[in-house]
Amino acid sequence: MLGNLLVFAVIAFAIFVLITSAIKVVQEYERGVIFRLGRVAGVKGPGIIFLIPFIDRMVKIDLRTITLDVPSQEAITRDNVTIKVNAVVYFRVIDPERSVIAIEDYQKATWQIAQTSLRSVMGQSDLDELLIRRDEVNQKLQQIIDEQTEPWGIKVSIVEVKDVELPDSLKRAMARQAEAEREKRAKIIHAEGELIASKELTQAATVMAAQPTAIQLRYLQTLSEIAVEKNSTIIFPLPINLLSSLERALTNLGGGATTASIPDSSTTSDAPEGEQA
């Protein structure tokens, strides 16, 4: 009796193992590549999949987008500048069968190709292109990596250069260049303002020369603006014409006056006392 129970238990356990190995569950975001005696029998999923025990073997492939972080790579640009660049790659499997048959480890292979392509593209680009035309560099990287991984059933959707690390000496040079550019723009704007102001002042002087009373009104307006500030010292502008008139008056007054002659003391002298009559 005990022996029969033991045999029954062994048979039940064997049936349980067979059923467990025959029934597989594939998630919605996965696909199962079925190998039957070493040959590909197809791609199945999602849901419950029945396999022939000891004959069929299934490899699950994740179809979700994978984020691959490319570590910092040191490269020399086309204009001989040493930089360090890192990037991020987004890709997914679009053909599970080829991703299993054509490549041993598609994630590792994509990671290696991304590093190699990043150094290659950096060496073919100028520093200004990397800093200004980042989108074009990203598109070029995406195209190169996608073409190389396409035979493996991989689709590269996005490649982004995250950071470009520059030498400290180059950073200082770029800072000086930016400062010089700002000073140049400031001087140009100041010169343009002076040019416009000179034209406006010329027109204002022409109008005031035609109407001398306008100059006096301008003086009074200036005094009223100064008085609003409650200053203790008021500077009153004196017209140049008044100074010219005063100068001519002083000149005329100095030319009409006569100067008195002073007798020369050397021509008058006292006679000796013996010669007086």
CA pair distance 183, 249, nearest whole angstrom? 52
Residue 171 has pLDDT above 80, yes or no: no
Are 82 and 152 contained in the same domain? Answer: yes
Are 48 and 70 contained in the same domain? Answer: no
Please say which residue of 62, 79, 114 terminates a domain.
Answer: 62
The arithmetic mean of pLDDT across residues 139-167, rounded, is 91
What is the residue whose two structure tokens read 């303002």? Answer: 193
Residue 190 lies in a domain: yes
Are 49 and 79 contained in the same domain? Answer: no
The arithmetic mean of pLDDT across residues 82-104, rounded, is 92
Say what the pLDDT of residue 10 is. 80
Please say which residue of 198, 224, 250 terminates a domain.
Answer: 224
Residue 181 lies in a domain: yes
Are 81 and 152 contained in the same domain? Answer: yes
Say what the pLDDT of residue 236 is. 60
Torsion over CA: 147, 150, 155, 159 (sign): negative
Residue 277 has pLDDT above 50, yes or no: no
Residue 9 lies in a domain: no
Are 93 and 145 contained in the same domain? Answer: yes
Helices (H), the chain: 2-22, 96-101, 106-123, 127-132, 134-149, 168-210, 213-228, 240-256
Are 126 and 201 contained in the same domain? Answer: no
Are 73 and 103 contained in the same domain? Answer: yes
The arithmetic mean of pLDDT across residues 239-264, rounded, is 62
Are 70 and 151 contained in the same domain? Answer: yes
Please say which residue of 187, 203, 224 terminates a domain.
Answer: 224
Residue 119 near residue 141 (C-beta atoms within 8 A):
no
Say what the pLDDT of residue 237 is. 60
pLDDT one-digit tens code per residue, 48-82:
988 888 888 999 999 999 999 998 888 888 888 88
Residue whose C-alpha is closest to residue 116's, from 150, 160, 157, 75: 75
Domain span at 70: 66-166
The arithmetic mean of pLDDT across residues 245-274, rounded, is 54
Are 56 and 132 contained in the same domain? Answer: no
CA pair distance 223, 237, nearest whole angstrom? 9
Are 42 and 87 contained in the same domain? Answer: no
Residue 57 lies in a domain: yes
Residue 232 lies in a domain: no
Residue 91 has pLDDT above 90, yes or no: yes
Per-residue pLDDT band at 96 (split at 50, 70, 90): very high
User: Count of domains in the chain?
Assistant: 3
Are 50 and 72 contained in the same domain? Answer: no
CA pair distance 215, 267, nearest whole angstrom? 62
Residue 207 lies in a domain: yes
Residue 2 lies in a domain: no
Say what the pLDDT of residue 87 is. 92
Are 194 and 156 contained in the same domain? Answer: no
Residue 238 lies in a domain: no
Backbone angles phi, psi at 73, to 5 degrees: -115, 135
CATH code (residue 146) = 3.30.479.30
pLDDT one-digit tens code per residue, 203-231:
888 877 777 777 777 777 777 777 766 66
- The tokens describing 250, both together, are 């002083």
What is the residue whose two structure tokens read 């204009």? Answer: 79
